[in-house]
Structure 1
């Protein structure tokens, strides 16, 4: 296991690119609780980052000079790149050029910006397990697996991760790539599958109708977003560098089981579901199951939240945010 970075972790000035997103907000919250000085960076502020310092920057268009200036002005020690061109706030309707601009172009511009900052700024880059591409069902996906992505999204994500790893090999950067499995848990992005499940159940509860859901035959590894944030912070505070690390639950679950577990964890009978089977559009392969031994060895990280707990809390936080205001 890697030793902690020199100095008290609380002294770290941590910039979270994409700090208003699903994972970014949890990374910001956990880093702040750990005593980090948090800078959330995104195109526009959101209410949940009001307690953190915020910098407005269009990361899809920002130049290396503007990024470097931001890092220098805030004397940043660590950058967490939690951006993703499939940002669910905007939806998945992206051109190949859009995907490349953020998933790869930003990474290149960020690496160039890091070269203008005095001292070594650590970089934790958030990739995806889908970078590995399609694998046979039953495969336990470890970091030795040769990536073969086939979609524009996964190819652009892999290219971004590879750019970071190449920079660490030459000594131009210091940090890790975390390849994250599918995410569940509180405050899901609206266009993600968990976010759509929450919206569908919310509508069914409000109308008294059944909950229609279209399901494919994929089996995927789901990990709670708070556990992912914990992995990010362990990567931030580690001295390990130059490696890709898988972050997941280590278990594959089929979509019908996931949906039924969500509904029952939310406190409703499975009979509320109106399940419809057909091929479903996806950003990645039909099977994912992460080998997480490297994360345990290198970072001392293991997931702590069960899928049922993650889905239950996902629903509870949504209900709290959408609870009707009762007049006096």
Structure 2
């Protein structure tokens, strides 16, 4: 198949491109410097005209303000949709959404795709607007598309702006420049109180691969959760990452300057049964493997 991957140089995009190429697909990426947000729809359409599917792995998450998130997570998919509308033969658009679109989950339970989204962060709100644009176009018959609503992604190459990426970066520096012998290093972090569903980035890539090969009739207009299906406490995950590193580190949790904790959800866990039903997909990598490979890559 001919697959266009938007955001191919990013964390998700890199792994998705690798999985598609290994499966025998031809991957097309935009040239360096091509700005999807400002490009005319006609120019975007020229790049995707021969595609069987377009995977939107572009967007803004870490170290971005709300305006930047709106530009990357809302305006970008809208511009892509306008470009696809110019084509006589329209490829399937696979939009990578986020579990943060749901907002607060129910403790002890997985969130199903039928749950009404109620995001509480700028990231979740902007990702939801982008997802809804793709779903509306699909349900109106204007553009075949599907939204993969993805849990917190980890594994090799996890961005440094994320919790696990940040901790990994500090552990890597400590491994290169250890402190005094027998004295544990302090790892200062904001309060670790949330439960999160973590999924390996390579499992996400496998889900994208399964989606582009799925029957358009079955998946068009659908939201499909992609996660591990299990919630784990973030303090335990950070502790597990430190344990895997083998370094003497002590976690110190402290409230950010100003005394205002981050506004977020306490519990995130996805029900991934629809992915198994429609895509034949399920997560294959354990969290332990993801953390080990994350550290090895760093």
TM-score, structure 1 normalization:
0.83
- Per the alignment, do residues 296 and 69 of structure 1 end up closer, same or farther by CA in structure 2, a change over 3 Å counting? same
Give 1:37's aligned residue: 26
Give 1:20's aligned residue: 9
Contact 1:154 1:283 (C-alpha < 8 Å) held by counterparts: no
Indicate whether 1:224 and 2:182 are aligned: no
Indicate whether 1:315 and 2:286 are aligned: no
Indicate whether 1:287 and 2:267 are aligned: yes
Deviates more, 1:219-228 or 1:233-242: 233-242
Alpha-carbon distance between aligned partners in 2 of 1:231 and 1:283, rounded to the nearest angstrom: 30
Q: Secondary structure at the match of 2:193?
A: coil
Q: What whole-Å deviation, never above 9, does each CA across 1:233-257 have from its counterpart, x for those lacking one?
A: 1011111211000100011111121
Q: 1:122 aligns with which of 92, 95, 108?
A: 92
Q: 2:118 aligns with which of 148, 158, 183?
A: 148
Give 1:78's aligned residue: 53
Q: 1:185 aligns with which of 155, 164, 183?
A: 155
Q: 1:212 aligns with which of 179, 182, 187?
A: 187
Give 1:5's aligned residue: none
Indicate whether 1:303 and 2:283 are aligned: yes
Q: Secondary structure at the match of 2:294?
A: helix
Q: 2:214 aligns with which of 215, 223, 238?
A: 238
Q: 4+ residue stretches of structure 1 with deviation over 6 A?
A: none
Q: What whole-Å deviation, never above 9, does each CA across 1:91-143 have from its counterpart, x for those lacking one?
A: x232x322211211111111111111221211110000000012342231110
Aligned residues: 285
Contact 2:105 2:269 (C-alpha < 8 Å) held by counterparts: no
Give 1:263's aligned residue: 242
CA offset at residue 151 of structure 1? 2.1
CA offset at residue 64 of structure 1? 1.6
Structure 1 unmatched runs, 5+:
1-11, 42-53, 319-328
Q: Secondary structure at the match of 2:29?
A: strand
Structure 2 unmatched runs, 5+:
180-184
CA offset at residue 187 of structure 1? 1.0
CA offset at residue 188 of structure 1? 1.2
Indicate whether 1:93 and 2:64 are aligned: yes
Alpha-carbon distance between aligned partners in 2 of 1:282 and 1:189, rounded to the nearest angstrom: 19
Give 1:139's aligned residue: 109
Alpha-carbon distance between aligned partners in 1 of 2:166 and 2:68, rounded to the nearest angstrom: 23
CA offset at residue 282 of structure 1? 5.4
CA offset at residue 39 of structure 1? 1.4
